[in-house]
Amino acid sequence: MSKTPKLLMVLNVLSLILVLVGYYLALFYAPTEKVMGDVQRVFYFHVATAWVGMVGFILAAVFSAIYLIKKDMKWDMLGLASVEISLVFFFITIVLGSIWARPAWGTWWTWEPRLTTAAILEMIYLAYLLLRQGIEDPEQRARFGAVYTLLGGLSVPMTLLSIRLFRTIHPVVIGGGGSETMGMTDSMLFVMFYSIIAFTVLFVTLFWHRIRLGIYQEKVERLKSEIYN
Amino acid sequence: MRTNQVTAYKPSFIKSIFAITRKDISAEMRSRELLSSMLVFSMLVVLIYYFALELDIKAREAITAGALWVTFSFAGTLGLNRSMAVEKDRGCLDGLLLAPVDRSAIYFGKMISNLVFMFIVEAIVIPLYAIMYNVNLLVPGFLWITVLGSIGYVAVGTLLSAMTVQTRTRDVLLPILLFPLVIPVLIAAVKASSGFIQGLPMEEILPWMNLLIVYDVVFTAGSYMVFDNIVEE
């Protein structure tokens, strides 16, 4: 059993501090939004968690593609780690979004492109985990998982596009002009980008931990099969 | 393994695809277990809609396309499951894999036969629905959308059923894996076909048709590329 690497310990502490400071910035430093009031403060973490979820989703598709080409179990572990982290962060994003949407839109949930796509993405992740559960052979599990993640990576953008053909009421944060864009002051932008960076560091930390866990799992499985044989 | 003395007989790609399709269809024509269960199931669903949704004359126009597509996708999983389970249970899949044909020929062969079963079910359910609910469904555009939607659905479904049939949970898993992936097909097919039923102008229907075509192409090509990974032994 190897000891926790020094860098990982530093990352542990760093992500804790960054997220705590992020709380302070979002709750006290950022100015109160004129129209929506204090509930808008949820937005900083909402964007940051959505960003992490998105990174996890893209990484999962990339790792799966690499796995199918190289057939090295290491890529499967990386893919699984990305999916698991992305699943959790997208869930947090949806919950935070709901908290914001209740006063802003007057409803917890609405069938809006990004919300619906996020929900479907969560379903795909759950299906992926169920699929993995149903297969015993680790090599087959990795292959099927990678194929399914890749198909999900193809289908989700199309889902977003297809729901987008309806009209959207989700505020556009980056890019896109007109009345839909949120008018943000410089300090608001600062807090937003700070949160994104803080959560990216948190993502790296969690990812590393998950991979170490994966390595140990593999070790346990190997030892078990050695005992039985 | 290649030897110089023996030149193995290798049929052409197209020929092997149709050989597999023909095998599936003639087996089905003898047992009729797949089509009959799909058909009876679809009819039951169409009946249940009447009581569950109280399809009065006004609701019908708006809901018909959705109701039909839900029927097709549920009945479709029955067929997809069955068509792969038969291969697996009687060891036919191993036989197919031993055959000197390209692996992807197996995918396309199974896909075409699944598509044929899907079309047969649709060809019976659509007129039946039209008669029972008194809606005019014999619009060429509507039928085209049904064809395009079925292709996308079956393209993904065939690949996933080859996958789920090898897992422990089998039949239960297929709809769970399939439905989140075919949502673009369902949205586009429902929107486009209800556009045709209600006689909307073409420029409102066209984006959905384009989306369906793109989905069909992307997922047929994608499934073709990854199918080797599913049946590897």
Instruction: Report chain B residues whose CB lies below 8 A from the CB of A165.
Output: 191, 207-208, 211
3 state SS of A33: strand
Read off the amino acid at residue B36.
S
Residue corresponding to tokens 């932008």: A189
3 state SS of A62: helix
Predicted local distance difference test score (pLDDT) of residue B186: 92
Predicted local distance difference test score (pLDDT) of residue B175: 94
Instruction: Report chain B residues whose CB lies below 8 A from the CB of A133.
Output: 169
| Interchain proximity B180–A165, CB inside 8 Å | no
Q: Which two tokens stand for residue A189?
A: 């932008």
Predicted local distance difference test score (pLDDT) of residue A1: 54
Question: φ and ψ at B139, to 5 degrees?
Answer: -100, 125
Instruction: Find residues 117-156 of chain B whose CB sits inside 8 Å of chain A.
Output: 156
Name the residue facing B177 among A131, A136, A154 (closest C-beta).
A131
Is A168 a residue whose pLDDT tops 60?
A: no
Is A178 a residue whose pLDDT tops 60?
A: no
B118-131 residue pLDDT tens: 999 999 999 999 88
A190-202 residues labelled b (16+ CB within 10 A) or e (exposed): ebbebbbebbbbb
Number of Cβ within 10 Å of residue A29's Cβ equals 14
| CA separation for the pair A17, A208 (Å, rounded) | 18
Range of lowest pLDDT (A46-55, A65-74, B63-72, B224-233) = B224-233
Interface check A134 vs B, CB under 8 A: yes
| CA separation for the pair B14, B219 (Å, rounded) | 20
Q: Which residue has the higher pLDDT, B197 or B150?
A: B150
B154 min Cα distance to partner chain A (Å): 14
Predicted local distance difference test score (pLDDT) of residue B42: 93
Phi-psi category of residue B8: left, alpha or beta, with phi > 0 → left and psi -120 to 50 → alpha: beta
Q: Which two tokens stand for residue A221?
A: 């499985």
Is B86 a residue whose pLDDT tops 60?
A: yes
B88-134 residue pLDDT tens: 887 888 888 888 888 889 999 999 999 999 999 999 999 999 888 88
| CA separation for the pair B82, A225 (Å, rounded) | 35
What ipTM did this prediction achieve? 0.88
Instruction: Report chain B residues whose CB lies below 8 A from the CB of A76.
Output: none
| CA separation for the pair B39, B32 (Å, rounded) | 11
A29-47 residue pLDDT tens: 877 776 777 777 888 888 8
| CA separation for the pair B204, B196 (Å, rounded) | 10
Residue corresponding to tokens 């149903």: A134
Rounded mean pLDDT, A71-86: 92
From residue B60, how far is each of A175, A215, B10, B50, B64 by CA, in Å? 41, 56, 53, 10, 5
What is the DSSP annotation of chain B? ---SS-------HHHHHHHHHHHHHHHHHHH-HHHHHHHHHHHHHHHHHHHHHT--HHHHHHHHHHHHHHHHHHHHHHHHHHHHHHHHHTTHHHHHHHSSS-HHHHHHHHHHHHHHHHHHHHHHHHHHHHHHHT-----HHHHHHHHHHHHHHHHHHHHHHHHHTTSSSGGGHHHHHHHHHHHHHHHHHHHHHHHHHTT--HHHHHHHHHHHHHHHHHHHHHHHHHHHHHH--
Interface check B52 vs A, CB under 8 A: no
| CA separation for the pair A11, A208 (Å, rounded) | 10
Range of lowest pLDDT (A2-11, A71-80, A120-129, B182-191) = A2-11
Average pLDDT, chain A: 85
| CA separation for the pair B233, B228 (Å, rounded) | 10
| Interchain proximity A127–B163, CB inside 8 Å | no
Q: Which two tokens stand for residue B148?
A: 């395009």
Domain ranges in chain A are 40-228
3 state SS of A37: strand
Rounded mean pLDDT, B204-215: 89
Rounded mean pLDDT, B155-172: 90
Predicted local distance difference test score (pLDDT) of residue A66: 95
**pLDDT interval class at B7 (50, 70, 90):** low
Average pLDDT, chain B: 88
Rounded mean pLDDT, A157-165: 80
Q: B158, B160, B181: best mutation site toward chain A, by most A Cβ within 10 Å?
A: B181
Domain ranges in chain B are 13-231
**pLDDT interval class at B140 (50, 70, 90):** confident
Predicted local distance difference test score (pLDDT) of residue B114: 95
Is A179 a residue whose pLDDT tops 50?
A: no
| CA separation for the pair B205, B215 (Å, rounded) | 16
| Interchain proximity B184–A161, CB inside 8 Å | yes
Is A91 a residue whose pLDDT tops 90?
A: yes
A180-190 residue pLDDT tens: 446 677 788 88
Rounded mean pLDDT, B21-39: 90
| CA separation for the pair A166, B51 (Å, rounded) | 30
Rounded mean pLDDT, A68-97: 92
Instruction: Find residues 166-195 of chain B whose CB sits inside 8 Å of chain A.
Output: 166-170, 173, 176-177, 179-184, 187-188, 191
Sign of CA dihedral B122, B128, B130, B133: negative
Q: Which residue has the higher pLDDT, A74 or B1?
A: A74
Model's pTM, two decimal places?
0.86
Is B54 a residue whose pLDDT tops 80?
A: no
Predicted local distance difference test score (pLDDT) of residue A103: 82
Interface check A129 vs B, CB under 8 A: no
